[in-house]
Amino acid sequence: MTIPDPTAGIDTGDPRAAASREIEALSEELRLHNHLYYVEAAPRISDAAYDDLFRRLQALEAEFPELLRDDSPTQRVGAEPRDGLPSVAHVVPMLSLDSSQELDAVRRFDERLERALGDEVVREYVVEPKLDGASIELVYEQGILSRGVTRGNGVVGEDVTENVRTIRSVPLRLREEKRPIPTLLSLRGEALMYLSAFEALNEARIMAGDEPYQNPRNATSGALRQLDSRITASRPLTVIAYDVLALEGAELETDAEGIRALSDWGFLVPDRFEVVRDVDGIAAFHRAYDRDRDDLDYEIDGIVIKLNALAPRRRLGSTSHHPRWAMAFKFEPRKEVTRIDKIFVSVGRTGVLTPVALLRPVEVGGVTVSRASLHNREELLRKDVREGDLVRIQRAGDVIPQVVERVPEEGRERGEAFSMPESCPSCGTPPVERGPFTVCPNHFGCAAQLKGRLVHFGSRHAMDIEGLGEETATLFVNLGLVKELADLFDLREDQLTSLEGFGELSARNLISAIQRRRNVELARFLTGLGIPEVGVTVARDLAAHFRDFEGIRRATEEELEAVHGVGPKMSAAIRTFLDDPRVSEAIDHLEDRGFEFILPPPVAEGGSPLAGKVFVLTGTLDGYTRDELKELLQERGARVTGSVSAKTDYVIAGDSPGSKLAKARSLGVQVLDEGGLNKLLGSSGRA
């Protein structure tokens, strides 16, 4: 498409005047194409052509900054962060709706209006979807967006104008081709994310190692209330307008006319709304939407019923909570059965590629579920679930959502069978198969794994780096500050102070915490590496046995098996991990940062009487925390496990012991209280 020259035929003797005319022409053309793309979904020009127009406008506004207007199409990218969101009173209170899931309640609503209005008013209703997003008020003065306000308590909300300006479906200036613009317009709309956009956002977050959003409504509300509008601009928000709250300089007689006026002024409005005359028409609309609910690209939880005539509304008025002329006719919440919108693969800390189902949000046991693990490729094949399938959901142990089975749908064509990717979605490395699991072997070079490994490396039982949590680790990897574990020890305070969430003190504290860990217990370092099969106990055993990190790196499988508790499977896993060239290189880089390892005290000649003894702890002790006692026993060569078996030597039982005490007695395992423990340790108090 040839881009028209907005200055054709214009005397350009005055550069500023010519620029002003061209800016106005470009702005008007860009507003048209924004409306066609984001509201009518009917673009007329290519993205490249649009970008050319946009860049030309940006260049002119940069050359003549005094000509830049707030309603310019270029002013949607977001502004600098604010300290807080000020409170603003609504032009008209934004009341909630009385609601019910019962048709009888709708009949009673209709009968109340019949008694109140009599025969003088034709009783007809506008019915429209009840959108499940975040309600917002938009105010236009002289056709220009002046503010956007969250619903808040209905009387006062938060000023989110800068954030609203970034939403492409919200016109910065009202269109006037079909209808004159009013001097004042206050409208109510619903900010939301289309399900397809929400799924893409969640997929991107999971691929980046971030926690996905629970549902589109929460994601929308959070994006709308950001202090940094640039973050809002990066989220796929849409606003659908559906109610004129206040109007000056124009007249409307019905709600249906108001919806058509909003559309004429450039807003996205509900794609399905009808005017019906009775309860039967309301019920039919409700049934139709409920039937089509799973095929919509947005979340609804019912329909809204509004008296169409506006003048009688004012006479009916409102209670303190809701208008008397409207109500919501809710759907039954989805329970247990829902649809898989998309299947994608997430990458965990250990490199396991897990297929995950993104679901239409469904209530299971009082909790809204929007994603569920499909576990591994063999489980996925066994259940044969695909994108678009209707499935039954349960929460395993009332906690973890699982797809139980596919629910057959006669006559519905199914999607293609899902297959695991040929490369890691995070780093592109070809995965390997280990039993039923698909694994990315790029342990320290895969960004998704690195985020998890950083969190594990800094965890309490590993390097114990205070301040290195999931959010910070994700930030470091996303910004490229940490590309491997060794980079953690190269970070500087000045790199952190400019980051979100960091000040001078927090940056100094984190850098100090990291640097202190150059001197660390060998067992903690081993735990932090995340070696397969090596937990806290095995790491202590390895450190106590070899007393040298290089000795562990060079140890053969047979030498590893000489360590108490290390068998052939574990030794093979350790050796495979350490022999991986990428792992070896990452560890080399870590060692280059200059660690001094603290070794466990040597066992006294003749050995500790507790060496090799197996302990289980249950209940609460007065003189020790569980971690303190565990560490004390391990320093003396004992092993502390979590379950009682015939191999257990002692069970230490404090107050309120669990089932482990009963099992110990049934197996004849020796049980010690705190006094008996102190005698065993050779002291009446702490050893």
* Catalytic hit among 130, 342, 451, 630: 130
Between CA 495 and CA 20 the distance in angstroms is 42
Which residues partner with 418 through β-bridges? none
* Cβ–Cβ under 8 Å, residues 651 and 644: yes
Element (DSSP H or E) covering residue 229: helix 229-233
DSSP alpha helices (H): ranges in 497-548? 504-516, 522-529, 536-546
| Token digits of residue 347 | 């990458």
- Cβ distance 437 to 375 under 8 Å? no
53 torsion bin: left (phi>0), alpha (psi -120 to 50), beta (else): alpha
Q: Which residues of 165-180 are buried (b: 16+ CB within 10 A; e: fewer)?
A: bbbbbbbbbbbeeeee
Give CA 341 to chain center in angstroms: 17
Query: What letter represents residue 555's amino acid?
Result: A
Please compute Rg for the chain using Cα positions.
33
For tokens 């066994």, what's the residue? 382
Distances (CA, A) of 258 to 140, 175, 187: 15, 15, 10
CB 608 within 8 A of CB 530: no
User: What residue ranges in 152-251 does DSSP mark as E strands?
Assistant: 156-158, 184-192, 238-248
Q: Contact 309/253 with Cβ under 8 angstroms?
A: yes
Neighbours of 617 (CB within 10 A): 22
CA diameter of the chain = 105
Q: How far apart are CA 378 and CA 319, in angstroms?
A: 58
Q: What is the Cα–Cα distance from 176 to 180, expressed in whole angstroms?
A: 5
Between vectors from CA 345 to CA 344 and to CA 347, what angle results, nearest 5°?
A: 150
Do residues 123 and 110 make contact, with C-beta atoms less than 8 angstroms apart?
Answer: yes
The structure tokens listed for 192 are: 């939301």
What is the spatial distance between Cα 163 and Cα 223, in angstroms, rounded to a whole number?
8
Cα gap 93→194, rounded to integer Å: 27
Three-state secondary-structure class, residue 661: helix
For 207, the token pair is 């691929």
Question: Closest Cα partner for 549 from 568, 525, 531?
Answer: 525
CA atoms of 188 and 134, how far apart (whole Å): 10
Q: Where are the beta strands (DSSP E) in 477-598?
A: 519-521, 596-598
Label residues 512-543 b or e (16+ Cβ within 10 Å = b): ebbeebeebbbbbbbbbbbbeebebbbbbbbb
The verdict on whether 130 is a catalytic residue reads yes
Q: How far is Cα 576 from Cα 585, in angstroms, rounded to an integer?
A: 14
Catalytic positions, please? 130
